[in-house]
């Protein structure tokens, strides 16, 4: 087991990629704080972790609120004593063409994705730096490296998270904590609610473009993915396990694509 005795906090842990990361970490021996803004979903995942024989603290919060994140950090430290791994994964999207977008909605995407990551890094990294041991994994996206039409707030937020990962990697090293690594994962099109759910990308684009959902996949997504398939959340979780492990101690400041060949830079 690669994460035996480690403690991880996973935001957005109640579903999709975050849930897959929670379960993969538990299988590798980690205990977890499963954080999400949907009461019930964090508890369900925590229950699954318990059935794998690991400890899990479900925690309901809005990561865009710094005070709530701070309270979660206190709860995590009270329960587990320390946090070794932060996976900042909570994210939302609000699809709209920029000129037609609602300003509050557009900014909300940045508040959850970027401010949420900022709050979590600020709450959990001081302990990692003090111990000179830790892993920060930030969920960016291929949208952090390319245009995403009718989704500018998401692309802006995901680009911003790569800047955050790179800067923070340099900061912790210069503070002397060379065994704390900070990296981003950039998934491509993954089979989660944000893509295939009832309010997901395929349903949204189907409405916006006047195409069937099958046509959206065939005409919009499939042609830009070499492997012409959706990724499974477990493939992202495997990268998150690798980056959290001792094997990846020399990897920092990177934004690694797991995308079936959508983006190569």
Q: Residue count at the site for another protein (CB under 8 A)?
A: 34
Structure tokens at 14: 């109640």
Among residues 118, 154, 221, 242, the one annotated as catalytic is 154
Give the contacts of 198 (CB within 8 A, at least 6 positions apart).
none
Length of the chain equals 265
Nearer to another protein, 101 or 201 (CB): 201
Task: Please count the other Cβ atoms lying within 10 Å of the Cβ belonging to residue 199.
Answer: 10
Q: 28: exposed, middle or buried (C-beta count within 10 Å: 0-12, 13-18, 19+)?
A: middle
Q: Choose the binding region for another protein from 31-39, 63-71, 215-223, 251-259 (rule: CB under 8 A).
A: 251-259
- Regarding 92 and contact with another protein (CB under 8 A), the answer is no
Q: Choose the binding region for another protein from 46-54, 91-99, 209-217, 252-260 (rule: CB under 8 A).
A: 252-260
- Regarding 233 and contact with another protein (CB under 8 A), the answer is no
The whole-angstrom separation of Cα 117 and Cα 247 is 24
Structure tokens at 17: 């990629």
Q: Which residues of 220-256 are buried (b: 16+ CB within 10 A; e: fewer)?
A: bbeebbeeeebbebebbbebbbebbbeebeeebbbbb
Dihedral through CA 210, CA 215, CA 216, CA 218, nearest 10?
A: -160
- Regarding 164 and contact with another protein (CB under 8 A), the answer is no
7-11, strands of its sheet edge to edge: 56-60, 31-36, 7-11, 85-88, 134-139, 180-187, 255-258
Among 35, 85, 156, 169, which residue interacts with another protein (rule: CB under 8 A)?
Answer: 169
Nearer to another protein, 63 or 180 (CB): 180
The whole-angstrom separation of Cα 203 and Cα 83 is 38
- Regarding 249 and contact with another protein (CB under 8 A), the answer is yes
- Regarding 46 and contact with another protein (CB under 8 A), the answer is no
Closest contact distance (angstroms) between CB of 228 and another protein is 6
- Regarding 175 and contact with another protein (CB under 8 A), the answer is no
Nearer to another protein, 75 or 224 (CB): 224
Nearer to another protein, 86 or 259 (CB): 259
Report the site for another protein in 183-202 (rule: CB under 8 A).
188
Nearer to another protein, 66 or 253 (CB): 253
Dihedral through CA 210, CA 214, CA 219, CA 225, nearest 10?
A: 140
- Regarding 173 and contact with another protein (CB under 8 A), the answer is yes
- Regarding 102 and contact with another protein (CB under 8 A), the answer is no
Among 5, 103, 147, 265, which residue interacts with another protein (rule: CB under 8 A)?
Answer: 265
Nearer to another protein, 107 or 166 (CB): 166
**CA nearest 6: which of 76, 68, 60?**
76
154 catalytically annotated: yes
- Regarding 240 and contact with another protein (CB under 8 A), the answer is no
Phi–psi pair at 146, nearest 5 degrees: -150, 170
For another protein, the binding residues (CB under 8 A) are 166, 169-170, 173-174, 178, 188, 226-229, 231-232, 235, 238-239, 242, 247-261, 264-265
């Amino acid at each position: 087991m690669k994460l035996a005795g480690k403690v991880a906090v996973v935001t957005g842990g109640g579903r999709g990629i975050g849930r897959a990361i929670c379960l993969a970490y538990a299988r590798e021996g980690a205990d977890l704080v499963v954080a999400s803004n949907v009461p019930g979903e964090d508890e369900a995942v925590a229950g699954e972790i318990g059935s794998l024989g690991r400890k899990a603290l479900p925690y309901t919060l809005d990561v865009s609120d710094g005070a709530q994140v701070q309270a979660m950090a206190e709860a995590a430290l009270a329960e587990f004593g320390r946090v070794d791994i932060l996976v900042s994964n909570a994210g939302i999207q609000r699809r709209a063409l920029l000129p037609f977008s609602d300003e509050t909605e557009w900014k909300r995407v940045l508040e959850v994705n970027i401010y949420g990551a900022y709050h979590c890094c600020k709450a959990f990294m001081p302990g990692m730096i003090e111990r000179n041991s830790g892993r920060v994994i930030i969920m960016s996206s291929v949208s952090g490296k390319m245009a995403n039409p009718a989704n500018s707030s998401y692309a802006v937020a995901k680009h911003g998270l790569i800047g955050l990962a790179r800067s923070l990697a340099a900061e912790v090293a210069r503070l002397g904590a060379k065994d704390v690594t900070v990296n981003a994962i950039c998934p491509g099109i993954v089979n989660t609610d944000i893509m295939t759910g009832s309010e997901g990308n395929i349903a949204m684009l189907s409405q916006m473009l006047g195409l069937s959902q099958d046509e959206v996949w065939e005409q919009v997504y499939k042609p830009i993915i070499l492997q012409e398939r959706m990724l499974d959340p477990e493939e992202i979780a495997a990268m998150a396990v690798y980056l959290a492990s001792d094997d990846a101690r020399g990897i920092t400041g990177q934004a690694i694509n797991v995308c079936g060949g959508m983006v190569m830079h």
